[in-house]
Structure 1
């Protein structure tokens, strides 16, 4: 999880949101109100303005048939049109944000990402305040942990904390990440 997260306020203008994404090299930012997450603005949300240019700017642009059908048939077609007309982060954002509690396991986070079809999750405390962002890359890191870290975690978290076992006489061996 990344705990140093750049975020924007709901009244942040479109251009400033785009600049934030580019400047910090991220593909999405949480939208916060008093440190409480109210939504997320992603690159895809910003691109709605370009995709629906003709409808809102009458410049003669017509999205490809595939894009028009996708938006017409999708549940969020009206959301895409709303975002295309948006000028602030609150008007552009996807809300509510897909979040995960700061106590969630990697497995729970991976399931949430899969269920919602997202690449990242906003991590929040019980009161809804922003704690960080967990990405697919963060979750993949569990597969490359050293064997000694996995063995220590099994000894401490599973045997001692969960099963209340004395582990001095227990040998835990992990080879190649337990694969």
Structure 2
């Protein structure tokens, strides 16, 4: 089984129009207990995300330019040095969600694999992804916490999926799962079959680690020709 964003996303999404006031954004963040909100244009397309950090830029820059003893935190100093000072200053002067938000919006679709969403978050250093339909309209949101849900799958479900994935060799492989850790034991005809079985098991959602003690009767990997350059 390969989980998709649809399986883990939240559909009851708090969002704001790009014209929403600073106060409205702050109030909604607090009331909903979230750290970020999708920002929508007048046609309900996602145009950005506004977060607690975006709002705090206002206080940070007040102190940075008007406070005698203030020294920004290391992360802020790195950000300024990296060339994003203009963006931070713009946000510090912002009065609406559209002026405060981070843009462009990084989004995903509901059919995307969970691993794809995780890679997007890692690539852009973000904590959440708005989920949009083919027309760009907001239908949900997925967070880092949502992605962790795949590791809470029951062991028996993981075991069933592993057995189905390696079913061609099931008669020679014993599969057990405990706390998401899959143990594979047995003897196969070929070395390559053992490698394939491990890779198939690794790709099952919820697998934390693989412990394999697989043997083989014939090492077809060793029989492969070695190609060298001239």
Give the TM-score taking structure 1 as reference length. 0.80
Distance 1:175 1:151 in 2: 6
Pairing of 1:111-126 with structure 2 (within 5 A):
111-126=119-134
Larger radius of gyration: 2
Q: 1:131 aligns with which of 139, 160, 163?
A: 139
Distance 1:108 1:71 in 2: 26
1:146 counterpart residue number: 154
Structure 1 residue ranges (4+ consecutive) displaced by more than 4 angstroms after TM superposition: 65-68, 151-156, 171-174
2:22 counterpart residue number: 14
| Residues 1:147 and 1:53: Cα distance change in structure 2 (over 3 Å) | same
Q: Which has the higher strand share?
A: 2
- Residues 151 and 172 in structure 1, CA contact (< 8 A), matched pair in contact too: no
Alpha-carbon displacement from aligned partner over 1:19-55 (angstroms, at most 9, x marks no partner): 0000000000000122210000000000000011157
Distance 2:131 2:117 in 1: 9
The number of residues matched between the two structures is 167
Of structures 1 and 2, the one scoring higher in RCO (CA 8 A, sep 6+) is 1
1:101 counterpart residue number: 109
Q: 1:46 aligns with which of 28, 46, 55?
A: 55
- Residues 156 and 177 in structure 2, CA contact (< 8 A), matched pair in contact too: no
Secondary structure in 2 matching 1:52? helix
1:35 counterpart residue number: 44
RMSD of equivalent CA atoms = 2.7
- Residues 120 and 133 in structure 1, CA contact (< 8 A), matched pair in contact too: yes
Structure 1: tracts of 5 or more residues without a match: 160-164, 166-170
Distance 1:18 1:65 in 2: 22
Secondary structure in 2 matching 1:175? strand
For the pair 1:61 / 2:67, whether they are aligned, the reply is yes
Secondary structure in 2 matching 1:76? helix
| Residues 1:96 and 1:174: Cα distance change in structure 2 (over 3 Å) | farther
| Residues 1:105 and 1:92: Cα distance change in structure 2 (over 3 Å) | same
Structure 2: tracts of 5 or more residues without a match: 1-8, 168-172, 183-208, 210-230
Distance 1:97 1:172 in 2: 46
